[in-house]
Amino acid sequence: MNMNPPPVNSQPIEFVNRLRQEAAHEPTPVSTQAPTKETQIIAIYGKGGIGKSFTLANLSYMMAQQGKKVLLIGCDPKSDTTSLLFGGKACPTIIETSSKKKLAGEAVSISDVCFKRDGVFAMELGGPEVGRGCGGRGIIHGFETLEKLGFHDWGFDYVLLDFLGDVVCGGFGLPIARDMCQKVIVVGSNDLQSLYVANNVCSAVEYFRKLGGNVGVAGMVINKDDGTGEAAAFAANAGIPVLAAIPAHEDIRRKSASYEIIGRPGTTWGPLFEELATQVGLAPPVRPKPQTQDELLGLFSADTVGRNVVLEPATTFDMMGRDDLVKPTLEVIYDAA
């Protein structure tokens, strides 16, 4: 009988080591130089599912119909920013495309990652597969690729960046932290969680302003507005204007669900997005006034948010079913010299 152990396959070990080396590699810092063209770069933040992609698809479409040259960049790992713009079709992401090109020994070109519809240019940065990497790090690598493709020389009137707001890592805060955009717009609704996220974005803007940054908040877009007024009250308290209030209307919900652009001139909802496009272009960046948690809760009724709940301290008996046990400490206490 052969008692020798089977040979160890070294390929998995080499693969793991290669992944570790790649993970340990720090990416090249993203350039913070100003664009060479007169371009407004605007970062749009909001809670996941609040309607950023819906808002941006219709906004960018309307801007293009008004004669503006617009680039829409999806910076959400879900890669769904351009789905409405392209009728539900998946747009190849920069990260996925660059990985495939790298394996093939080829360079990424603009036509590999940038696509257009009716005058709107659009692309998705993308992100790693679930459990296989950091979404924020993917954002950084994505912008590296954009710069290699000449991002700072592109002649757009507007570049709209769609960022997930309920993530606080450095990659998602990149436009604010490194002055990569001139202003920020938050998308929210009349619910506590979306306003909590909007307030976090305002806090990030104010934090980097104190460090010498120049990015400000141009305003808020209220999506799925049911008229209860909490989002408008937040905007007023934070010192930022409401750029548009998109109603919670069944027609909008149905058309959006079927990937239909409603921000078209001459349609029912066209004037709403025409006004939004104008406001987005003209609204100046301002320093917001972030709210405290209690101030946010104060926007809602006590019954809604549980503001009347009293914090009751727990005891050891609650946790263990018996009274406190006093155990001698093993800490060494030295006499004062």
Active site residues: 47, 52, 78, 166
- Residue entry with tokens 């690729």: 145
Strands 120-124 and 115-117: antiparallel
Cα 141 to the center of its chain, rounded Å: 16
d(C-alpha 289, C-alpha 202), whole Å: 7
Please count the helices (runs of H) and the strands (runs of E) in the chain: 13, 8
Contact call for residues 42 and 184 (beta carbons, < 8 A)? yes
Query: Which amino acid appears at position 60 of this protein?
Result: S
Contact call for residues 79 and 166 (beta carbons, < 8 A)? no
Instruction: Supply the Cα-derived Rg of the chain in whole angstroms.
Output: 25
> What's the token pair of residue 151?
């991002």
DSSP codes, 102-133: HHTT----HHHH-EEETTEEEEE---PPTTSS
DSSP codes, 46-74: E-TTSSHHHHHHHHHHHHHHTT--EEEEE
b/e sequence 123-134, b meaning 16+ C-beta within 10 Å: bbbbbbeeeebe
d(C-alpha 316, C-alpha 337), whole Å: 37
